[in-house]
């Protein structure tokens, strides 16, 4: 890049940066460093003395069956949410790309859920499926299915995944539509002239060319499922029944904030930090040149 | 379209309509529930069409005078949430546009350090530093204040990156011309940069307003007093399935009121929304 033309002021840039840097230092870096420090401390049960234990908290957390359960729950939740919401969104985007009339109307009607808070998305699905008053729970039971997400862990998970995936459809849909529009029409026409039918064209041209978009969305959806769905879990199941829907973020919250096990909670925070760093690195390292055509 | 295949197009329309039914149904269901009496809601299945209680329920929820959660009315909750969403959106935009301006248009020691300090905050969401951040809030006396609800959310790596990206596309000649004409940094910012950034600001505003409106973990941590609840948190406190006294029709009204403003923003400002979404996620 050519050297930028700049203003000669010496003090002004620091003043301009001051508000942002002040907030990041006070509310981001300081607490994050505290989390790192606390993750190596252990407090006795009465809070009278603390001692420095290096990585013992991590060892303890990583051996804890509850933590491993929560890791497992989070992975299942993330994979299911990403696959379902991306799958549905891809089908809808391909269909929207195919129609000529009414595209704008369809888009308008499909982007609503983006505006719904995750916690409220969870509540909406809970309204429909809770055993006392949900119409769908009523229908399921009328057909003889024993539906009770408040008691059955797998059903609770299904409910959470539905709500989380539902909320994310809009987002994925918009990105798939943008990705589809970036594919040069000439490629598709060339394939059509060579005699490839629509299905074949989709799998041999469209889908591979969408790969960057798909990969990008995969990362974004994983981040979403790991971190942004705390509200859904907290509002719908509270991690239960049992610990069937206790995700990693929910566990950090409940261990640290509700049960006050500080060292463990801090160690879990640090593990989560490593996960975010890895995901962000992947996102920026491999996804930056997402749209390399069109 | 390459083949002219009316049947395939018809199928596409059908699939889209089906998709819309699935996507819009939970919202519609809640709206329908909000127009029925408590008795109708408690006796599933719920009718598919709105009931006659629309005005009664909404009137009662908005002006009923009875605080739903610990003496807090829906109006207060909506006010709180609006303040939070607006403050977060406006604050983030102001703070990031200034930072990006400093990083792109000035040369100074530690410029890249500042950039990286901002960039790395992407990797430190609230979720990974819950307890220590809470402690900072307590120490600063920010629990149950609007400042506490909004200020810590105002740092934004994404918005700063977006503005930086955009500023880098502004030709150096423009800066030179402005300087030749005697414009100082402030003048350049106000008369040239801000007008050029208008569309970016609008797009970001929509995304950030939604972001602020839908916050959950943060308001949950920093508010104890029901008076300071956002509507999302208040709803969580209202729903209790074990409690027979829950006034479901009013919960449904509150729920509709909680999702309506952001939906309106997204739908009415759709063009900015799509632009903001696609560009802020680079």
As given in the structure block, the two tokens for residue A185 are 């029409």
pLDDT over threshold 50, residue A2? no
DSSP code of residue A252: H
Whole-angstrom distance, CA of residue A100 vs CA of residue A111: 19
Q: Do B217 and A253 touch (CB under 8 A)?
A: yes
As given in the structure block, the two tokens for residue A189 are 């026409």
Q: Do A132 and B125 touch (CB under 8 A)?
A: no
Q: Where are the beta strands (DSSP E) in B126-181?
A: none
Mutation to test the A interface, candidates B87, B123, B231, most A Cβ within 10 Å: B123
pLDDT over threshold 50, residue B33? yes
pLDDT over threshold 80, residue B244? no
User: Between the CA of residue B28 and those of B53, B126, B235, what are the distances in Å?
Assistant: 16, 32, 18
pLDDT over threshold 50, residue A291? no
* A269 touching chain B per CB within 8 A: yes
Question: In Å, how far from its chain's centre is CA A242?
Answer: 23
Q: Do B216 and A118 touch (CB under 8 A)?
A: yes
Phi and psi at A51, nearest 5°, equal -135, 155
Give residue-wise pLDDT tens across range A45-61: 666 667 777 777 787 77
Give the residue carrying structure tokens 């598709």.
A188
pLDDT at A46: 64
pLDDT over threshold 50, residue A294? no
- Distance to chain B for A25, nearest Cα, Å: 9
Beta bridge partners of B72: B69
What ipTM was estimated for this complex?
0.84
Residue B90, SS3 per DSSP: helix
Average pLDDT over residues A273-278: 86
Question: In Å, how far from its chain's centre is CA A32?
Answer: 21
* CB-CB neighbours of A96 under 10 Å: 23
Give the residue carrying structure tokens 């149904």.
B25
Q: Do A115 and B105 touch (CB under 8 A)?
A: no
Confidence of residue B81 (pLDDT cuts 50, 70, 90): very high
pLDDT at B4: 66
* A218 touching chain B per CB within 8 A: no
Residue A20, SS3 per DSSP: helix
Higher model confidence: residue A126 or residue A289? A126
Confidence of residue B171 (pLDDT cuts 50, 70, 90): confident
User: Between the CA of residue B48 and those of A4, A129, A142, B41, B229, what are the distances in Å?
Assistant: 62, 15, 18, 12, 32
Give residue-wise pLDDT tens across range A22-47: 999 988 899 888 888 888 877 666 66
Give residue-wise pLDDT tens across range B43-72: 777 777 777 777 777 877 777 655 555 667
Helix (H) or strand (E) holding A30: helix A30-38
DSSP code of residue A4: P
- Distance to chain A for B243, nearest Cα, Å: 11
* CB-CB neighbours of A68 under 10 Å: 12
Percent of chain A with pLDDT over 90: 13
Give the residue carrying structure tokens 């696609």.
B278
Percent of chain B with pLDDT over 90: 11
pLDDT over threshold 80, residue B25? yes
pLDDT over threshold 60, residue A1? no
Best CA proximity match to B92, nearest among A23, A117, A279: A23
pLDDT over threshold 50, residue A258? yes
Whole-angstrom distance, CA of residue B45 vs CA of residue A128: 9
Q: Judging by beta carbons within 10 Å of its beta carbon (0-12, 13-18, 19+), is residue B83 exposed, middle or buried?
A: middle
Confidence of residue B82 (pLDDT cuts 50, 70, 90): very high
Q: Peptide bond preceding A149: is omega within 30 degrees of 0, i.e. cis?
A: no
Give the residue carrying structure tokens 């990705």.
A179
Confidence of residue B123 (pLDDT cuts 50, 70, 90): confident
pLDDT over threshold 80, residue B254? yes
Greatest CA separation for chain B: 76
Higher model confidence: residue B149 or residue A150? B149
Selecting from B27, B128, B173 the residue whose C-beta is nearest the C-beta of A112 gives: B27
- The answer to whether B176 and A5 are in contact (CB under 8 A) is yes
DSSP code of residue B52: S
pLDDT at A48: 67
Q: Judging by beta carbons within 10 Å of its beta carbon (0-12, 13-18, 19+), is residue B55 exposed, middle or buried?
A: exposed
pLDDT at A290: 47
Percent of chain B with pLDDT over 70: 93
Average pLDDT over residues B76-99: 92
pLDDT over threshold 90, residue B274? no
Whole-angstrom distance, CA of residue B203 vs CA of residue B281: 12
pLDDT over threshold 80, residue B77? yes
Whole-angstrom distance, CA of residue A264 vs CA of residue B171: 52
């Amino acid at each position: 890049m050519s050297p930028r033309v700049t203003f000669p002021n010496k003090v002004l840039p620091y003043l301009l940066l001051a508000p942002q840097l002040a907030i990041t230092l006070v509310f981001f870096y300081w607490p994050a460093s505290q989390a790192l420090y606390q993750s190596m401390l252990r407090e006795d049960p009465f809070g009278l003395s603390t001692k420095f234990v290096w990585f013992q908290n991590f060892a303890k957390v990583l051996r804890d069956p509850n933590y491993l359960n929560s890791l497992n729950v989070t992975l299942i939740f993330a994979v299911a949410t990403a696959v379902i919401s991306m799958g549905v969104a891809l089908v809808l985007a391909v269909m929207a790309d195919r129609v000529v009339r009414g595209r704008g109307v369809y888009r308008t009607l499909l982007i609503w859920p983006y505006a719904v808070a995750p916690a409220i998305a969870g509540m909406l699905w809970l309204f429909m499926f809770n055993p006392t008053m949900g119409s769908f729970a009523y229908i399921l039971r009328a057909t003889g299915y024993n539906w009770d997400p408040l008691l059955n862990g797998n059903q609770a998970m299904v409910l959470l995944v539905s709500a989380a995936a539902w909320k994310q459809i809009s987002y994925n849909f918009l990105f798939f539509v943008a990705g589809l529009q970036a594919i040069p029409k000439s490629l598709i026409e060339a394939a059509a002239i060579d005699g490839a039918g629509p299905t074949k064209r989709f799998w041999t041209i469209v889908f591979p060319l969408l790969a960057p978009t798909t990969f990008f969305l995969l990362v974004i959806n994983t981040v979403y499922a790991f971190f942004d769905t705390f509200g859904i879990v907290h509002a719908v199941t509270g991690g239960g029944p049992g610990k069937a829907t206790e995700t990693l973020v929910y566990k950090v919250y409940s261990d640290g904030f509700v049960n006050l096990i500080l060292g463990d909670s801090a160690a879990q925070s640090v593990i989560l930090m490593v996960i975010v760093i890895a995901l962000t690195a992947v996102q920026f390292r491999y996804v930056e040149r997402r749209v390399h055509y069109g | 379209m390459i083949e002219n295949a009316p049947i395939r197009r018809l199928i596409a329309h059908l699939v889209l309509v089906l998709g819309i039914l699935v996507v819009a149904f939970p919202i519609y269901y809640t709206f329908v529930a909000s127009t029925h009496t408590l008795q109708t809601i408690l006796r599933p299945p719920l009718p598919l069409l709105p009931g006659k209680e629309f005005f009664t329920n909404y009137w009662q929820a908005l002006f009923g005078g009875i605080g739903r959660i610990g003496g807090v009315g829906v109006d207060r909750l909506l006010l709180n949430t609006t303040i939070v969403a607006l403050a977060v959106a406006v604050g983030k935009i102001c703070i990031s546009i200034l930072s990006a301006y400093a990083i792109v248009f000035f040369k100074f020691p530690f410029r890249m350090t500042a950039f990286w300090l901002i960039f790395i905050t992407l990797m430190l969401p609230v979720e990974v530093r819950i307890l220590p951040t809470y402690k900072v809030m307590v120490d600063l006396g920010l629990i149950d204040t609007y400042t506490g609800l909004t200020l810590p959310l105002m740092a934004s790596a994404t918005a700063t990156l977006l503005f930086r990206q955009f500023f880098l596309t502004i030709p150096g000649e423009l800066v030179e011309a402005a300087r030749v004409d005697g414009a100082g940094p402030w003048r350049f910012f106000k008369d040239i940069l801000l007008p050029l950034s208008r569309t970016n600001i609008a797009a970001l505003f929509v995304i950030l307003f939604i972001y602020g409106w839908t916050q959950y973990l943060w308001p949950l941590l920093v508010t104890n007093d029901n008076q300071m609840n956002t509507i999302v948190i208040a709803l969580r406190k209202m729903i209790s399935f074990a409690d027979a006294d829950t006034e479901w029709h009013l919960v449904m009204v509150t729920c509709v009121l909680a999702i309506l403003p952001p939906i309106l923003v997204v739908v009415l400002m759709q063009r900015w929304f799509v632009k903001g979404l696609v560009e802020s996620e680079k």
